[in-house]
Amino acid sequence: MIDGFIALYIFMLAAFVGHEVIGRVPAILHTPLMSGSNFVHGIVLVGAMVALGRADTTLELVIGFIGVFLGAGNAVGGYVVTERMLEMFKSSKEKDK
């Protein structure tokens, strides 16, 4: 079980990591990074899958289905958009050399 102070510690440490990761980023990467972090919270898909997998009533099934649909959209869309953005960064970088 992840609860009580263990949960708080995980929360605190992860928050520090998030803060550190963004801390010294040049402004030009803000948009791709926002897009990238948008992709990372697409992990919500996993939770939605578990919620749908354990749903019993019709109401739960419907909401669970919507949840998985939305989560998959977040993960896939976030990846495609971020990848497209960063691809251009690389090509211009190489052209530079």
Partner 1 sequence: MSEMISMRSLIEASYFVAAILFIFGLKRMSSPVTARGGIIWAGAGMVVATLVSFLYPDMGNYTLMMTAIFIGGVLAWYSGKKVAMTDMPQMIALYNGMGGGAAAAIAAVELFGGEDHGLVFGTLAVLGGLIGAVSFSGSLVAFAKLQGLMKRNFRFPGQQVFNLLLLAATVVTGGYIVMVHGDINTVVIFFLLALVLGVTMTLPIGGADMPVVISLYNALTGLAVAFEGFVLQNAAMIIAGTVVGAAGSLLTQLMAKAMNRSLANVLFSGFGEEGGEAGEVSGSMKPIEAADVAVMMAFADKVLIVPGYGMAVAQAQHKVWELTQLLRDRGVDVKFAIHPVAGRMPGHMNVLLAEAGVPYDIIYDEDEINPEFPTADVALIIGANDVVNPVARSDPSSPIYGMPILNADYAKNTIVIKRGQGAGFSGIENALFFLDNTRMLYGDGQAMASELINEVKAL
Q: Per CB under 8 A, which of residues 6..45 are in contact with partner 1?
A: 7, 10-11, 14-19, 21-45
* String of contacts with partner 1 for each residue 68-97, x by CB under 8 A: xxxxxxxxxxxxxxxxxxxxxxxxxx-xx-
Residue 54 binds partner 1, judged by CB under 8 A: yes
Please, are residues 53 and 67 in contact by the beta-carbon 8 Å criterion?
no
Q: In the bound complex, what is the minimum distance in angstroms from residue 97's beta carbon to partner 1?
A: 10
Q: In the bound complex, what is the minimum distance in angstroms from residue 62's beta carbon to partner 1?
A: 10
Tokens standing for residue 72: 């998959």
Question: Could you identify the residue written with the tokens 């009533």?
Answer: 57
Residues that contact partner 1, how many (by CB under 8 A):
84
C-alpha 97/C-alpha 86 separation (Å) is: 17
